[in-house]
Amino acid sequence: MRTQVVIIGGGPSGLLLSQLLDKNGIDSVVLERKTRDYVLGRIRAGVLEVGFVDLMRKAGVAANMDAHSFTHDGTIIAYNNEQFRIDFTKHTGTPVVVYGQTEVTRDLYEAREVMDGKIIFNSENVQIHDAETNAPYVTFDAGNGEERIDCDYIAGCDGFHGVSRPTIPDNIRRDYEKSYPFGWLGVLSETPPVNHELIYSSSDRGFALCSMRHENLSRYYIQVPLSDGVEKWSDDAFWDELRRRIPQEFADKLITGPSIEKSIAPLRSFVSEPMQWGHLFLCGDAAHIVPPTGAKGLNTAASDIHYLYNAFVDFYRNNNEDGLKTYSNRALARIWKAERFSWWMTNLLHRFPDQSGFDLKMQRADLEFLRDNEAAQRVLAENYVGLPY
């Protein structure tokens, strides 16, 4: 088999790239290790930057998003019983869009199907060969023995645990990492959201976030120790703890119900440089991870896809390799800013096990400065709605 671009990973990054390439007449094959249902079963991101929304539009997959998403002009920041609001639209002219990663991925799968896009599910033992040459190829086994696809380029969109990043030799790759001493316990429930905008809450008992998917589907998170397992948290225990961590006004009107999904995610900051090696390009979680506090994971994946698909279009249409050559530097320049913002939001709002009295005072001063200072609010708003591509 031969194609122009082999895409490893059928998550949002890989699907968006294959859809955008197809729209521009560039042929690709997506190799996904799991099944479509498995990929759609993962409950992850909920907040999209306008840059992401624009890409969905360019990819021709905006119809459901336009019909069913919410536009949010701001967010509430709470600490203990106090709260203030950051107005994104006032400070930046731009809102964010609340639409789930599950829905984004489903819409992309449907669009790929309509366009007859080639996605090979259950692709085991994917291996990248000769990526540093002009004739790379990929081998895999999707149940019919080893198969081979020859290609011009390979896009590694296979997430944090994929094969693409480790293919880049150790003497070329440098990883930067920070892990945090806590995780997020997330619950999805078929209940109306407690507020029409998100609430990021820093309480003495730890961080909490109130988010949503639609009018009758809420997504809530609380910071928990890494040693906690999901089984430790009954639904009742979760709701009680959430109520204690958000301002009384919201605790009083929180509507609870059975959880339909409950999981714990560790928090990590991670960047691998460079994001290109020969004819292999890394995108999304394959190259970088942010803690979810700034809602940047999926959005940074989208900016990578923006740079890469434009570079491919320029190469195949105009025989111009500049975009491909500069991909890693351009993508990383934006990634590091999103890493900084996510790290800062995480430090601002969480309780750390070894926090001293001084550290707590600094956190409080940071929050009160943000509450009182328009320039600080604007900085948060600019980062939250997404820095320009």
Residue 185 binds to ligand PHB (criterion: CB under 6 A): no
Residue 292 binds to ligand PHB (criterion: CB under 6 A): yes
Query: Which position has the token pair 């020859």?
Result: 150
Q: Of ligand PHB, ligand RFL, none, which one does residue 219 interact with (CB within 5 to 8 Å by kind)? A: ligand PHB
Residues 47-86, one symbol each (x = binds ligand PHB by CB under 6 A, - = not), give x---------------------------------------
The residue among 131 and 242 lying less far from ligand PHB, judged by its C-beta, is 242
> How far is residue 75's CA from residue 373's CA, in Å, rounded to a whole number?
16
The residue among 31 and 224 lying less far from ligand RFL, judged by its C-beta, is 31
User: Closest approach of Cβ 187 to ligand PHB, in Å?
Assistant: 11
> How far is residue 344's CA from residue 139's CA, in Å, rounded to a whole number?
41
User: Closest approach of Cβ 47 to ligand RFL, in Å?
Assistant: 4
User: Closest approach of Cβ 209 to ligand PHB, in Å?
Assistant: 6
Is the N-terminal amide bond of 292 cis, ω within 30° of 0? no
Chain-centre distance for alpha carbon 290: 8
Residue 199 binds to ligand PHB (criterion: CB under 6 A): no
Q: Tokens standing for 119?
A: 């996605």
Residue 45 binds to ligand RFL (criterion: CB under 6 A): yes
Residue 292 binds to ligand RFL (criterion: CB under 6 A): yes
The residue among 141 and 314 lying less far from ligand RFL, judged by its C-beta, is 141
Please list the helix, strand and coil fractions of the chain in percent, rounded to the nearest 5, in that order. 40, 30, 30
> How far is residue 114's CA from residue 287's CA, in Å, rounded to a whole number?
30
- Contacting ligand PHB (CB under 6 A), which of 21, 126, 295, 380? 295
> How far is residue 218's CA from residue 281's CA, in Å, rounded to a whole number?
36
Whether 38 sits among the annotated catalytic residues: the reply is no
> How far is residue 296's CA from residue 158's CA, in Å, rounded to a whole number?
18
Residue 117 binds to ligand RFL (criterion: CB under 6 A): no
> How far is residue 216's CA from residue 55's CA, in Å, rounded to a whole number?
27
Interface residues for ligand PHB in 27-46 (CB under 6 A)? Answer: 45-46
Q: Kind of pairing, strands 124-129 and 70-72?
A: unpaired
Selection from 94, 76, 95 nearest residue 209 by Cα: 76
> How far is residue 148's CA from residue 127's CA, in Å, rounded to a whole number?
10
Whether 327 sits among the annotated catalytic residues: the reply is no
- Contacting ligand RFL (CB under 6 A), which of 6, 7, 47, 222? 47
> How far is residue 75's CA from residue 349's CA, in Å, rounded to a whole number?
14
Which residues lie closer than 8 Å to 361 by C-beta, 6 or more apart?
none
The single residue of 72, 91, 288, 306 carrying the catalytic annotation is: 72
Interface residues for ligand RFL in 220-239 (CB under 6 A)? Answer: none
Whether 296 sits among the annotated catalytic residues: the reply is yes
Residue 386 binds to ligand PHB (criterion: CB under 6 A): no
User: Closest approach of Cβ 68 to ligand RFL, in Å?
Assistant: 17
Q: CA angle 138-142-144, nearest 5°? A: 105
The residue among 14 and 193 lying less far from ligand RFL, judged by its C-beta, is 14
> How far is residue 368's CA from residue 366's CA, in Å, rounded to a whole number?
6
Name residue 127's beta-bridge partners: 139
- Contacting ligand PHB (CB under 6 A), which of 219, 279, 306, 330? 219
Query: Which position has the token pair 């339909």?
Result: 260
Residues that bind ligand RFL (CB under 6 A): 8-14, 31-34, 39, 44-47, 101, 123, 126, 157-159, 161-163, 184, 186, 265, 284-285, 292, 295-299, 301
Active site positions, annotated: 72, 200, 292, 296, 384
Residues that bind ligand PHB (CB under 6 A): 45-47, 198, 209, 211, 219, 292-293, 295
